[in-house]
A and B are shown apart, each in its own frame.
Chain A
Amino acid sequence: MKKLISICLVAGWFLFLTSITVASPVVLSLVPAYDWYHGCGPTAAASVVGYWDLHGYSNLFSAEGWDAVRLTANVQNQISSPEHNARYDPKPDDTTKPESWNSIADWFRTSKDPLDYGWSYQSYADDAFEGYANYRGYQFDSYYESWGAFTWNDLVNEIDAGNPMMFLVDSGGDGDTDHFVPVFGYEDRGSDGLWYALYTTWSESETTTWQQFRPMSSSYNWGVGYGTFVHPIPEPATITLLISGALSLIRRKNRHNLK
């Protein structure tokens, strides 16, 4: 009997500990991973765009379905088009080549002078999502916040709402931003800190990487500098559908109440 009690106590203590220190991670599914292609900014943005392609916005990429979307060969021209590469890969830019507006990198101004090859400004991240989505026939709303204004609760709310984000982080641990990554999950590990789920964009076959949600520092890698929010704006037809659905729900409720 004593033995049973002690087992129960240990089990109870263990359950208590796990309940206060470990919360289940929340991770969005079907976020495609892409290998770095002509810039971390457009590559990271492509994962977010690819997610929405698989969640009701099927014209964002020309590829259809998970298998097709996850093949970089099918989407690399939409990350950074050959026209964009011809003009902005050389340093200085080769301005004799025509400008193009047909890939994420175009709206992100990736590699555009005075930036070096592969670099993008955070200040064009919202343009990248909105401009590219508009080019593909959709309306997206995007904005960004720097660390401080951008909080853990913001991340939790976005992921809980099914919205992956894009972070600009300090992957090198020198206190400066240097890398865009797609972010699609969070986990509160209690005394072990707050963590976010990302792809590094350094391999197409990569699995989820977890990093601690904390500000940039020269003492550790992967501190967070900025968070970019990305929200599709439902089309009028979708809104009409949603409203009619909501109305019928209200009517049903009313009827139910009447009863």
Chain B
Amino acid sequence: MILTAASSFVFAAGVKVAVVKSWGDGIPAFTELNNNYGNYGSIPLTIDTSLRLVSSFTYEDLVSTDANVLWLSNPAGGVKHYSDAEVAAIEQYVSEGHSILGTYRVFQGWQTDNRKLAPIFGLPQDVNYNTDIVGAGQTFDIIDTYTNHPLFTDINDPYISNGYANAQVPDDDYSWDANDLKSAQLLAKTDDNRGIITLYETTSYHAIFISEMPEYNDSPADMQLLYNALTVPEPATICLLAIGSLTLTGKNNKKSIERKRL
């Protein structure tokens, strides 16, 4: 409840999303979410793709986007290697209160090792990642404790994704097991543990990782999930609202007392 209020309070002016150093052309989801965000929620969404196909970027480039959320859309799948300086730039930017979304092959592809990004998502850096064909129409069961999480607003349980038919998986057994999650919380998963949605929360930012690529097509359920993922409020906002809420509760109590006195 607090989260919903926070999102409408803080993001009334809208959420700016910067897609950073990601996979190549041909994604309809960016256009769909930019043009028709109103179909998925009341918070305006702007997706800036100016850094999407760059060969390199700096912290200053991230700042210049003024983005609330960074989106790493399948960078390793696009053969986009993140340098140490770029990983550091991402770390710095998110630590300043900006959230991050990673989809599909974020950490590793055949030719591209971006595992240094994994700790930003609360996931282990010291394992090898691979991909596996999982087929279209992947069915994600939402973990019971998270069914009311804002990420799943207007999402059916189970959530059926019609994105790209492959998933990023740990290379040892092609399955996201408990020890593969490290500090991230598991929010939803497919039966075979290849498709997962995780959340990693710190005091300054949160990171959502989706092991599949819902943005590949623009099916309504996938667009809704991505809209939600991009508009989940930042932790600082939640704290701010929680304090506001407590203050408000305190005032109400005071009023009650005063009323009693009257």
Contacts and interface: CB of A to CB of B under 8 A. Distances in A.
A137 interface: no
Given A92-B77, A92-B213, A114 B26 contact: no
Contacts of B105: 91
**Pairs of residues from A and B, 6 with the lowest C-beta to C-beta distance, nearest first:** A94-B24, A91-B77, A117-B110, A96-B25, A90-B78, A90-B24
A106 interface: no
B26 A116 contact: no
B26 A96 contact: yes
Given A92-B166, A117-B110, 11 more contacts: A89-B79, A89-B111, A90-B23, A90-B78, A91-B105, A92-B213, A114-B133, A114-B166, A116-B110, A116-B133, A118-B110
A90 B165 contact: no
Nearest to A87: B24
29 contacts: A89-B79, A90-B23, A90-B78, A91-B74, A91-B77, A91-B109, A91-B131, A91-B166, A92-B23, A92-B74, A92-B77, A92-B164, A92-B166, A92-B213, A92-B216, A94-B23, A94-B24, A94-B25, A94-B26, A96-B24, A96-B25, A96-B26, A114-B133, A114-B165, A114-B166, A116-B131, A116-B133, A116-B166, A118-B110
Interface of B: 23-26, 74, 77-79, 105, 109-111, 131, 133, 164-166, 213, 216
Contacts of B23: 90, 92, 94
A62 B164 CA distance: 38
Given A96-B25, A114-B165, A90 B110 contact: no
Contacts of A91: 74, 77, 105, 109, 131, 166
B161 to A, nearest CB: 14
A157 interface: no
Interface in A108-167: 114, 116-118
Contacts of A114: 133, 165-166
A24 interface: no
Give the dominant DSSP class at B's interface.
loop
Contacts of B79: 89-90
A97 B23 CA distance: 13
B77 A90 contact: yes
A240 to B, nearest CB: 48
A92 B29 CA distance: 15
Contacts of A92: 23, 74, 77, 164, 166, 213, 216
Contacts of B164: 92
A211 B216 CA distance: 43
A94 B164 CA distance: 13
A95 interface: yes
A236 to B, nearest CB: 44
A95 B105 CA distance: 18
Contacts of A96: 24-26
Interface in A74-104: 89-92, 94-97
A81 B42 CA distance: 48
A90 B74 CA distance: 10
